Every structure is written in C-alpha cells, then in structure tokens.
C-alpha cells in the first residue's frame, strides 16, 4: 500500500530586534514558530519533532534568540480580538495591531514527504520578506534541516543580549456550579397540577499570562518585566420551566382545561480584559528553591443581559417567543498577583519549568522559563 503523503507548512516569523549590530545589519532576537498542518495530517503534533529540533538548535547556536510558539500567537490574537471588542475595531485593525506587535522579517516553509524504506524526508527554505530573496534552504531529517537552517540564518540572528529570563507563566482558574430545584410554581387561579423547575448556573474563568520581556538598557538582571494579559469571563444563567393545566374561557365555548408550558431564561455575561507591562520578580534561594511572582493589571469589563420568553396554552393566550438583549454599563476590575514556587534542577540551572494546582483542582499555574545569555557565558 502506498504510504499517505503528508504535507504541512511551518512558518517561522522572526520578530525584528530594534538594535543594529556592528555589521550594520538589523538582527532578529526572537523567532515565532507557527504550524499550519491540517488536522487531517496530524495538526501540531506532526511538526512537534521538527519544532523541538529547531528550538534545540537555536538554543545551542544562538542562545540570545528567544522562541515562541502557536500558543503565544493564539493568546496574542485572542487578546487583540478582545481589545477590539472593548475598544472597537475591525479585523484589519486587529491584524495590523498583531503585525505591529510581532513584526516579522523571515518566513520559512517546510514540507514533509515519504522517503525510502518508510522514512520521512523534510525540506525547507527561508525567505527574507524585506527583499523577497531565499536566504536558507535544506533537505534531510528533522535534525539535519533544523541544524542547517539555523546555521544558514546565523548572520540574520543576534548574538548580543543581556542575560535575562525569557518564556511565560500562565495562571488558569475556573468555576462551574449548577443548582436545581422543583416546586409547584407561583399561585395562579386558573392553573392546576403545576410543576416548576428552576436552574441556576454560574460559570467563571480567569486567565493570566505573563510573557517575559528583554530588559531595557541599564536595568539590572533581577528586575524583570513582562507583557501580562489578564482576562476574566463570568456567565450567570437562570431559567424556569413551568408546565401543567390551565383553564381556558373561549367565546361560545364552555370553560375547559388544557396543557400549558411556560419557559423563561435570563443570561448575564461579563467579559473583562486588561493588558499591560508589569513587573515580575524571580528569586532563587541558596537551596535551589525559587519563587516567581507575577503582577497582573486591572482592566475594563463589558457585559450584557439576554432574556427569552415562550408560552403555549389557551388559544386566546397564544404568544410569540420573545428575545431581548440589553448592554450592561462598562465597569472595572482590579489587578491581582500570584506566586509560583519550584526547585531548580541542578543539572539544568538555566531552566525554570513546572506546574502547581490548588487542592480543589480549580486553579493551575504553569511556567516555562529559560535564561537567555550570550553563547559561551
């Protein structure tokens, strides 16, 4: 059976470094690796090995160059979408904001296809979008392609940087509670055999992500800052379903009972978003225990209340279903902070990675930081 051909494209968007180095060429200090593999061909998993090899090669050959991934892009896009929702703006403005925030100069296209004996062969090239020229090309295994591309890109990537922590810290919290009760409904002179079901559901979530930034000139190593996104969402829904029999009085007819059904729901949704550059404190004790303290900004809350009603019963009481939505006045939510605690791996002191969860499992903090420093230091 002929092996299925896998095609995927891996885009590497390289953010421009603002400084100009000694040879007069503008150097890049970070690389964003974006996977475009279709789900039918394995999605992000299909390029996991190649992306890992690229990151390893960059860490080895260009340790001053930071790497970011698809999740960082998704978070930035989501942050811009919510900013546009709060402040107004169309998709073009969102894309422009992303381009300004994550400026790119190099694009790499990578393809995988079956090789002899059931192996996979990879090929790729990198284009400088400023000139339209191909500046690197390679073919071979994942490692061979990664190493070759990084080697050919050497003159485009910076070697100069101040030692600093790079990476991100993420805080996720969620709550979902539902209450139900059943009773005979409100008193009504023409109703009988009534049953009412009430449901109240509260869903709340908070996401904070801190992406550490390169320190400004003159700032000490211990004083880190991060671009911190703080997002909240609260949904509160209450609904009532009442059914039974109702007494009808129609012209020219004797009174009679018929079944009725009454539905009502009200949903309040509130979205909060705040983004700012905030201080992050990283302290490492002599025994290797470290603490990462993240400060998150406050922000703006917008919201709306949606209601719906429906009733069926006597012909004379027939009503069309109705829906209504009303905006809630904008509000504010306050900033906050949290801590992550871990232990340095003695064999890899330049990496801080780990996770911790609350006893009830509703809150989880994860972090993955790397000490960026010039090669050989």
Segment 93-118, tens digit of pLDDT = 443 444 345 445 666 667 777 777 77
Residue that wins the pLDDT comparison between 367 and 109? 367
- At residue 64, does pLDDT exceed 80? no
**Predicted pLDDT of residue 229:** 92
Angle between helices 70-87 and 91-101 (to 10 degrees): 130
Q: List every span in the chain annotated with CATH 3.40.50.
A: 10-156
pLDDT of 359 strictly over 50: yes
Residue pLDDT, tens place only, 261-285: 999 999 999 999 999 999 999 999 9
pLDDT for 93: 46
**Residue 242 forms beta bridges with which residues?**
196, 262
- pLDDT surpasses 70 at 168: yes
Would you say residue 3 has pLDDT above 50? no
Per-residue pLDDT tens over the stretch 229-267: 999 999 999 999 999 999 998 888 899 999 999 999 999
pLDDT tens per residue across span 32-56: 676 666 676 666 777 778 878 887 8
Contact 110, 138 (CB under 8 A): no
pTM of the predicted model as reported, rounded to 2 decimal places:
0.66
Distance CA 333, CA 275 (A): 12
**Which class does domain 10-156 fall in?**
alpha beta
By the 8 A CB rule, do 85 and 299 touch? no
Residue 203 CA to residue 269 CA, distance in Å, equals: 10
Residue 220 has pLDDT above 80, yes or no: no
| Integer Cα distance of 377 and 370 in angstroms | 14
Residues with Cβ < 8 Å from 10, sequence gap 6 or more? 33, 34, 35, 36, 37, 47, 50, 51, 108, 109, 110, 124
- What pLDDT score does 7 carry? 41
């Amino acid at each position: 059976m002929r092996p299925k051909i896998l095609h995927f494209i891996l885009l590497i968007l390289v953010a421009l470094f603002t400084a100009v180095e000694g040879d007069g060429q503008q150097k890049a200090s970070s690389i964003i690796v974006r996977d475009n593999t279709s789900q039918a061909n394995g999605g992000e998993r299909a390029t996991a090995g190649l992306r890992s090899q690229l990151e390893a090669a960059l860490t080895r050959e260009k340790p001053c160059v930071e790497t970011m991934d698809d999740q960082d892009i998704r978070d930035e896009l989501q942050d811009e979408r919510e900013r546009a929702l709060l402040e107004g703006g169309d998709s073009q403005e969102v894309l422009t904001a992303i381009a300004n925030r994550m400026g790119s100069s190099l694009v790499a296209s990578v393809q995988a296809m079956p090789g002899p004996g059931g192996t996979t062969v990879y090929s790729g090239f990198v284009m400088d979008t400023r000139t339209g020229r191909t500046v690197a090309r390679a073919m071979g295994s994942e490692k061979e392609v990664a190493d070759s591309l990084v080697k050919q890109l050497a003159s485009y990537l910076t070697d100069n940087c101040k030692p600093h922590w790079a990476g991100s810290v993420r805080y996720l919290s969620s709550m979902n509670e539902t209450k139900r009760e059943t009773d005979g409904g409100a008193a009504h002179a023409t109703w009988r055999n009534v049953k009412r079901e009430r449901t109240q559901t509260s869903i709340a979530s908070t996401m904070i992500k801190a992406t550490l930034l390169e320190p400004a000139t003159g700032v000490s190593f211990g004083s880190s800052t991060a671009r911190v996104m703080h997002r909240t969402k609260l949904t509160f829904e209450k609904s009532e379903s009442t059914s039974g029999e109702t007494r009808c009085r129609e012209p020219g007819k004797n009174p009679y009972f018929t079944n009725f059904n009454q539905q009502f729901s009200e949903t309040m949704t509130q979205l909060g978003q705040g983004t700012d550059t905030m201080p992050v404190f990283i302290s490492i004790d002599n025994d290797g225990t470290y603490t990462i303290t993240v400060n998150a900004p406050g922000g703006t809350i917008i919201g709306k209340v949606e209601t719906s009603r429906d009733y069926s019963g006597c012909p004379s009481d027939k009503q069309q279903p109705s829906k209504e939505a009303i905006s809630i006045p904008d509000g504010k939510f306050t900033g906050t902070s949290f801590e992550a605690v871990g232990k340095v791996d003695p064999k890899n002191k330049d990496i801080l990675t780990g996770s911790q969860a609350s006893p009830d499992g509703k809150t989880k903090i994860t972090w993955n930081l790397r000490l960026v420093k010039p090669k050989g230091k």
